[in-house]
Amino acid sequence: MKNVWLLRPLPNGTNQLHNFLEYDFIAIGYPVGKSLNGLSYEKVKKELARFDMDEGATNVYNFISQMKIDDLVIVPDDNSRDVYFCTVTSQYIYVPNVDNQKKGLGYPHQKTVNWFFNKEPLNRNDFSKELQASLRSPKTITDLTHHLDVLNEIIFDVAFISGGVLKGKAIETVREMLEEDQTVDTRLRAAELALKYDL
């Protein structure tokens, strides 16, 4: 995992979480009738301004350009309880057939993902007060990378309780964290997890 993002599943004002889970993708709204791939922040803002949506330029730019493959994404349902976890598996994808303002559509900017925990949610009330506070961010997209250590521990704990494939993924992630290109803090955290779970 590289960075951590909170993404609200409400593109164009409609909760699309059920589609996200069924079809293994995440998306944001801002339908402007064209792909925004490769655009600078200034050009994204200019495109959105044509539809009076330029206040969302940071959301769009972060989703398209800053959210990378292998980043961890936390998707909270709007029931104030359920929280889903996934990792990004693709670059930006533009889907023209949902690029309109019709109710229930308007989510053309997408990325594919792999969901953790067999697409089952965790209860946010089990998280630390600090993480719960961050999950209340009203923004469409919020950078939560400063919670990476806590989130790694949550994921590993649930993965090892669940066992099987999730355990294998947890072990693989620890090995990735131990790579030389990681920071010293990240490698130390991986070593702690390896010792804790006898990897």
The residue ranking higher by pLDDT, 136 or 196, is: 136
Higher pLDDT, 103 or 17: 17
| Tokens read off for 145 | 């990378």
Kindly report which listed range (5-14, 16-25, 56-65, 118-127) carries the lowest average pLDDT score.
118-127
pLDDT band at 164 (very low <50, low <70, confident <90, very high): very low
At 70, which amino acid appears? D
The beta strands (E) that lie in the chain are given as 4-7, 25-28, 72-76, 82-88, 93-94, 109-115, 122-123, 141-143
What's the residue count for the chain? Answer: 199
What pTM, to 2 d.p., does this model score? 0.80
Burial of 149: CB neighbours in 10 Å, binned 0-12, 13-18, 19+: middle
- Structure-token pair, residue 31: 């339908």
Is 9 within 8 Å of 17 (Cβ atoms)? yes
- What are the pLDDT digits (tens) for 79-105? 889 999 999 999 999 999 999 988 889
Assign 8 to helix, strand or coil.
coil
Q: For residues 197 and 157, give the distance between their C-alpha atoms in angstroms, rounded to a whole number.
A: 9
> What sign does the CA torsion over 66, 135, 116, 168 have?
positive
For range 30-52, the mean pLDDT: 96
The pLDDT value given to residue 52: 95
Residues 6+ apart with CB under 8 A from 119: 21, 84
- Count of CB atoms situated within 10 Å of the CB of 131: 17
Tell me what the mean pLDDT of segment 138-148 comes to.
Answer: 94
- What mean pLDDT comes out for the span 189-196? 56
Domains defined along the chain, listed by start = 4-146 (3.10.590)
Label residue 171 by pLDDT band (50, 70, 90).
low
pLDDT top residue among 110 and 171: 110
Which pLDDT value is given to residue 165?
A: 43
